[in-house]
Amino acid sequence: MESQKSSTQDRELRVSRLFNAPVALVWEAWTQPEHIANWWGPDGFTCTITKMDMRPGGDWHLVLHGPDGTDYRNESVFSEIIPLEKIVYQHTSSPIFTATITFEAQGEQTLLQWHMLFQSREEFIQVVKTYKADEGLKQNVVKLDAYLKKMQ
Amino acid sequence: MKARRDVYQAIADPTRRAIIGMIAAGPQNVNTIAEHFTVTRQAISLHVKILEDCGLIVIHRQGRDRFCEAQLDQLSEVASWVEQYRQHYERKLDKLETYLEQLKKAKYGKSKK
């Protein structure tokens, strides 16, 4: 039967970044609604935070406004908050995943690690396919835009 | 309506992933594969058929036996899709980085290098 040892490997995603900013500032940018709305969404999207209760069991609701006027509602529930160290939330609207973000002070810099674990491989593949389709479309628009600029 | 067969559909099912895992190292008899599972032989045959339709395995007949051989080149396509999605998150971090620079300027006056 299928081994369960590396059971999460095919449905998770990890990214990390060393920021040239102290951990207090990175934490603030992540946890204050007026800040997070400035960087959360994909390129060309704006973001409205309607609720952000950063306590275990607290709701986090936001709306991403797409460039074409489409609104995408995102709902999550925070499950763990350790100030200046760790945020864990469950994304409860589709796609379902658990995100764990850790903050590690390195002098005046901060190492941020972002881990997303999807509910299933099936869900993850679906997300990736959907995203890729959107992304392909978006890149074409960008290319066309650049091309038209060159023509002028 | 016939579902479009592609590599994603092939790996979207845990039984099919297990079958791929079993034959990745070398071809296996369909009957031998079926013995590893609790589902019916018909069910395994159907999974094998889907894998064949998706182009992930090739069936070789030897007398009454059928052997499945893995053709896993296509799976790298999946890996590259996942990589694209990872890039989406990298861009989120790019935006946070840019925003942090603005915040630093606002808080401490000049941006510290």
Q: Which residues does chain B have within 8 Å of residue A137's beta carbon, measured at their own beta carbons?
A: none
Question: Which range has the worst mean pLDDT, A98-102, A142-146, B3-7, B38-42?
Answer: A142-146
Asked if A129 and B21 come within 8 Å (Cβ–Cβ), the reply is no
pLDDT at residue A32 greater than cutoff 50: yes
Residue B60, number of CB atoms within 10 A of its CB: 11
**b/e map A68-99, b = 16+ CB within 10 Å:** eeeeeebebbbeeeeeeeebbbbbeeebebbb
Provide the strand spans (E) within chain A: 12-19, 46-52, 59-65, 71-82, 86-91, 97-106, 109-118
Q: Is the CB of residue B14 less than 8 Å from the CB of residue B60? A: no
pLDDT given at position A142? 59
What 3-state DSSP class applies to B57?
strand
Q: Which residues does chain B have within 8 Å of residue A132's beta carbon, measured at their own beta carbons?
A: 81, 84-85
* Cα gap A114→A62, rounded to integer Å: 19
Of B100 and A141, which is predicted with more confidence?
B100
Is B95 an 8 Å CB contact of chain A? yes
B21: CB partners within 8 A, 6+ apart: A2, A3
Is B105 an 8 Å CB contact of chain A? no
Asked if B98 and A122 come within 8 Å (Cβ–Cβ), the reply is no
pLDDT given at position A5? 41
Q: Is the CB of residue A48 less than 8 Å from the CB of residue A59? A: no
If we measure between CA atoms, which residue out of B72, B70, B66, B57 comes closest to residue B32?
B66
B55: CB partners within 8 A, 6+ apart: B5, B7, B71, B74
Phi-psi region of B96 (alpha: psi -120 to 50; beta: other; left: phi over 0): alpha
pLDDT given at position A4? 42
pLDDT at residue A79 greater than cutoff 90: yes
Neighbouring-strand partners of residue A77: A59, A90
A86: CB partners within 8 A, 6+ apart: A80, A100, A101, A102, A103
pLDDT given at position A117? 93
Smallest Cα distance from B66 to chain A, Å = 21
Asked if B98 and A28 come within 8 Å (Cβ–Cβ), the reply is no
pLDDT given at position A120? 83
Asked if A25 and B17 come within 8 Å (Cβ–Cβ), the reply is no
* Cα gap A58→A148, rounded to integer Å: 47
For residues B87-99, average pLDDT? 92
pLDDT band at B78 (very low <50, low <70, confident <90, very high): confident
pLDDT given at position B110? 59
Where do the domains of chain A lie, and which CATH numbers do they carry? 13-151 (3.30.530.20)
Tokens of A124: 């993850």
Q: Which residues does chain B have within 8 Å of residue A129's beta carbon, measured at their own beta carbons?
A: 8, 81
pLDDT given at position A122? 79
Q: Using one digit for the tens of pLDDT, what is the confidence trace for A48-65?
A: 999 999 999 999 999 999
pLDDT given at position A141? 54
Provide the strand spans (E) within B16-56: 28-29
User: Which of A15, A34, A102, A130 should we substitute to test contact with B (largest number of B Cβ atoms within 10 Å)?
Assistant: A15
Is the pTM value of this prediction over 0.75?
Answer: no
For residues B83-104, average pLDDT? 90
